Amino acid sequence: MLKILKYSFADLARSRWSYVYFGFYLLLGFVLLFLNNDLSKAVITLMNVIVVLTPMIGTIFGIMYFYSAREFTELLLSQPIKRRDIFLGQYLGIALSLSLSLVVGLGIPFIIYGVAQSSEIWDFALLLLVGAFLTFIFVALSVNISLRNENKVKGFGYAILLWLFMAVIYDGLFLISLIMFDDYPLDKFTLFASMFNPIDLSRILVLLKLDISALLGYTGALFQNFFGNGSGMIISLLVLTLWAILPIGLLIRTAKRKDF
């Protein structure tokens, strides 16, 4: 597995798109810090970008890579290698290289501007961690889609739809249901529903570190009680891990049964 991981990682490291992605984050970091010159403000803006963009890039990259590497995958399948190793290796290759682009691309400008000495270091670290989680989750989901759809156009459509659903539509439905059921106690439901969308969960996790004073309003206190303390944080991270592990498990299962 490690060999395949290494191979697909090297393959991606040579590809132009990884560098474009890396360059994009590098530029984004520098521009943000240049315009704001205030680390905490830059972290807030960055959150908006990361929460929306990393899932999208993860989805598109994952599906593109798996479709384009199909012939190579078939070649590997003819070798005496376990299927689990092939697919897990390829998956980890993409997810790791994308996360690395993110972490290094944003890390360099922020370290130059002195994040390590400032009090924002933990917020920033959490932001990168969440970004990496989102990458792992959405690459896994998109690989699943590519395995189940031979038709590239269809697969691509599903993947984009998945991203759109998680990033926008889910929140819309969520908001409408909250307004509709206004008369009922909604706090438990809200906590529960936010667990079902990794993008929402990541956003709330980071937000509670940043916009803390707004969220401390009436109901905010309840969310603060849950997400703000240690156990809520651990639960949220566990749920995020679950969000990554389940699609990976599904991926392996699908790959094992698939007739190539």
Give CA–CA dist 19/12, Å, rounded. Answer: 9
The least CB distance from residue 108 to another protein, in Å, is 25
Residues 38-69 as b/e (b if ≥16 CB within 10 A, e otherwise) read: ebeebbbebbeebbbbbbbbbbbbbbbbbeeb
Among 16, 213, 230, 257, binds another protein (CB under 8 A): 213
The least CB distance from residue 245 to another protein, in Å, is 25
The least CB distance from residue 168 to another protein, in Å, is 5
Among 151, 214, 231, 259, binds another protein (CB under 8 A): 214
Task: Tell me if 172 contacts another protein by CB under 8 A.
Answer: yes
Task: Tell me if 48 contacts another protein by CB under 8 A.
Answer: yes
Distances (CA, A) of 83 to 70, 77, 144, 254: 14, 7, 14, 10
The least CB distance from residue 193 to another protein, in Å, is 9
Nearer to another protein, 212 or 245 (CB): 212
Q: Which tokens go with 19?
A: 């560098």
Task: Tell me if 186 contacts another protein by CB under 8 A.
Answer: yes
Task: Tell me if 2 contacts another protein by CB under 8 A.
Answer: no
Among 31, 112, 125, 221, binds another protein (CB under 8 A): 221
Task: Tell me if 174 contacts another protein by CB under 8 A.
Answer: yes
Please, which contacts does 162-169 make with residues 24 or more away whose CB atoms are closer than 8 Å?
Answer: 162/59, 163/55, 163/56, 163/59, 163/138, 166/55, 166/197, 166/198, 166/199, 167/52, 167/55, 167/56, 167/199
Contact 97, 62 (CB under 8 A): no
Among 125, 211, 249, 260, binds another protein (CB under 8 A): 211
Query: Which range in 66-74, 85-93, 127-135, 208-216 contacts another protein by CB under 8 A?
Result: 208-216
Task: Tell me if 50 contacts another protein by CB under 8 A.
Answer: no
Among 13, 64, 121, 207, binds another protein (CB under 8 A): 207
Nearer to another protein, 19 or 174 (CB): 174
Task: Tell me if 168 contacts another protein by CB under 8 A.
Answer: yes
Q: Which tokens go with 256?
A: 């094992």
Nearer to another protein, 17 or 170 (CB): 170
- Phi and psi at 81, nearest 5°, equal -125, 145
The least CB distance from residue 35 to another protein, in Å, is 12
Give CA–CA dist 110/218, Å, rounded. Answer: 35
Which burial class, exposed, middle or buried, applies to 190 when counting CB atoms under 10 A from its CB (0-12, 13-18, 19+)? middle
Which residues of the shown chain bind another protein in the complex (CB under 8 A)? 41, 44, 47-48, 51-52, 167-169, 171-172, 174-175, 178-179, 182, 186-187, 189-190, 194, 199-200, 203-204, 207, 211-221, 223
